[in-house]
Structure 1
Amino acid sequence: MGTTQLETAPEPKYWHLKTVLSDALDSEFAVGEILPNERELAARFGVARATLRQALEQLELEGRLQRRRGVGTTVAPPRMGVAVGDSAHGRPGTAADGWQPVDADEAVPPTAVARLLGTAAGETVQVVRRIRKTHGQPVAAELLYVPVESVPGLSVPEGLPGAARARLVLRELEDLRPDGQDQAVELGSARADDAKQLDRLPGAPVLVVTTRYFAGGRTAAVAVATYRADTCRLTFGDNGAAEAVPAVLAG
């Protein structure tokens, strides 16, 4: 078999720079230390700033760096383990799953979510926003979409605050007995609202875990959880459940 074009293609300059920078992070910088500005780094390594930005973006994607509002680019700490596919996730909204309710409202879900729920165009559902923290640091934000059929006994008093409304919806979901679920994981970019909750910049790399819960032969709820890609790495066990575990940082 002949050599392919990809095998003969030279390594991109930014990729080589990423490796050099990674070595420098291990030998010269401490966790939390602020990196020099782009002009200084580009001059040090003799590259264009566009090449430098590509390398820095790749290191951020791999969890080696963090961009922080008002601070700059810092060396990221090791990723933390955050369970995603454990037994607590067998039921949507269970109080033991580590999520903290933030608010809730009635809204029309995005088209992709409505398709998963099987709701009609323009039909409103209960949307519960929750956040998850590890060691006091926000690591994930979730939107839990619940159709009317899943909470038939729900009655929301007028003027009830968002967090209280969220807890009320979650309590109604406690009676639900899911008979299955499926999950999908993909790489995405943080939207403005998620970025604010996760203390990230809009557009930062994130891991999006979409979980669809089934009950009585229909979709009972859909959860869309956005995890900080610099904080978590997802793996899959023998049962197919996803779990976020500490990452081994490459040298």
Structure 2
Amino acid sequence: MGTTQLETVPEPKYWHLRTVLSNALDSEFEVGEILPNERELAARFGVARATLRQALEQLELEGRLQRRRGVGTTVAPPRVGVEVNPTRHSWPGAPGDAWQTEGCAEDVPPAVVGRALGRGDEKVYTVHRVRTVHGQPVATELLYVPPASVPGLSGIAGLETDAGVARGRAVLRELQRLELGGQERTVELGSARAEDAKRLDRLPGAPVLVLTTRYLAAGGTAAVAVSTYRADTCRLTFGESAGTGLLAAG
């Protein structure tokens, strides 16, 4: 990183420093690389550490930097493209799916999900999934599947008491036997629940994007997925641009 004179800049010093640092991240650093410590950076740019912290906090908020416990401040990976209006419809777990299955349980879904499934307070299969980029979790998902959508699951030996990865994958395989009629998606800004925050290495209440997907089959809702994305690591994509997957941070 080079140095710069900030004394004569009319804009706030931390904001100008944020711009200088952002340019340096693009030209001099690789994803995952650890930045020099605050004392070295403050001395190099001739600013107070308080000014430096403001600039670093702004870049973290924008998703350019990540502060990892026990590691330090690192260059964040490119943002994940969140498909709001996908051009191709597919079941969860289909080829090309970027999610990993972590487990499965039988639970009563949240009331809003139960109503969407038309199941009220009946128990459904809840598949826990996670999406990672460069080894870092960027999203977590709960996929709710009524037993009626996967009738063949009851005939698979050994899964009755299995709440692990094998059971979750079996639910996904059985779901794909249905003919998918389409998807309906909504997205909204939310706050990370304690469980999601722990999985995403965020503080409870951190901003997240919540993507809710209804999978339609046989004239009804066959499954509902609630995907929670870190707001600092993703951007919304529409139409054909949704197929690009990972997009550069901007």
TM superposition score normalised by structure 1: 0.71
Q: Given the superposition, is the C-alpha separation of residues 86 and 141 from structure 1 closer, same or farther in structure 2, using an over 3 Å criterion?
A: farther
Structure 2 counterpart of 1:185: 187
- Which residue type is aligned with residue 113 of structure 1? V
- Which residue type is aligned with residue 201 of structure 1? R
Tell me the percent identity.
54
Q: Given the superposition, is the C-alpha separation of residues 223 and 18 from structure 1 closer, same or farther in structure 2, using an over 3 Å criterion?
A: farther
Q: Please give the alpha-carbon distance, in whole angstroms, between the structure 1 residues aligned to 2:122 and 2:47.
A: 55
Contact 2:183–2:215 (8 Å) recurs in 1: yes
After TM superposition, the structure 1 = structure 2 runs for residues 196-207 of structure 1, keeping only pairs within 5 Å, are: 196-198=198-200, 200-203=201-204, 204-207=206-209
The farther-off stretch of 122-131 and 156-165 is: 156-165
Q: Please give the alpha-carbon distance, in whole angstroms, between the structure 1 residues aligned to 2:75 and 2:181.
A: 43
Structure 1 counterpart of 2:169: 167
Q: Please give the alpha-carbon distance, in whole angstroms, between the structure 1 residues aligned to 2:48 and 2:135.
A: 40
Contact 2:18–2:58 (8 Å) recurs in 1: no
Contact 2:38–2:49 (8 Å) recurs in 1: no
Which secondary structure state, in structure 2, belongs to the residue aligned with residue 129 of structure 1?
A: strand
Structure 1 counterpart of 2:60: 60
Q: Please give the alpha-carbon distance, in whole angstroms, between the structure 1 residues aligned to 2:116 and 2:29.
A: 45
The farther-off stretch of 67-76 and 26-35 is: 26-35
Shift of 1:165: 0.9
Contact 2:66–2:73 (8 Å) recurs in 1: yes
Which secondary structure state, in structure 1, belongs to the residue aligned with residue 21 of structure 2?
A: helix
Q: Please give the alpha-carbon distance, in whole angstroms, between the structure 2 residues aligned to 1:195 and 1:230.
A: 13
Which secondary structure state, in structure 1, belongs to the residue aligned with residue 148 of structure 2?
A: helix
Aligned residue pairs total: 229
Contact 1:78–1:246 (8 Å) recurs in 2: yes
Q: Please give the alpha-carbon distance, in whole angstroms, between the structure 2 residues aligned to 1:72 and 1:103.
A: 31
- Which residue type is aligned with residue 128 of structure 1? V
- Which residue type is aligned with residue 183 of structure 1? R
Shift of 1:96: 4.2
Which stretches in structure 2 are left out of the alignment for 5+ residues?
A: 1-10
- Which residue type is aligned with residue 61 of structure 2? L
After TM superposition, the structure 1 = structure 2 runs for residues 81-230 of structure 1, keeping only pairs within 5 Å, are: 85=86, 87=88, 89-120=89-120, 122-155=121-154, 157-198=159-200, 200-203=201-204, 204-230=206-232
* CA shift digits 1:2-41 (9 cap, x unpaired): xxxxxxxxxx97xx73453232343488453346559x97
- Which residue type is aligned with residue 247 of structure 1? A
Structure 2 counterpart of 1:33: 34
Q: Given the superposition, is the C-alpha separation of residues 201 and 248 from structure 1 closer, same or farther in structure 2, using an over 3 Å criterion?
A: closer
Q: Please give the alpha-carbon distance, in whole angstroms, between the structure 2 residues aligned to 1:86 and 1:110.
A: 29
Contact 1:131–1:140 (8 Å) recurs in 2: yes
Q: Please give the alpha-carbon distance, in whole angstroms, between the structure 2 residues aligned to 1:236 and 1:143.
A: 23
* CA shift digits 1:122-168 (9 cap, x unpaired): 32111001123345443332211112221223226343251111112
Shift of 1:100: 2.0
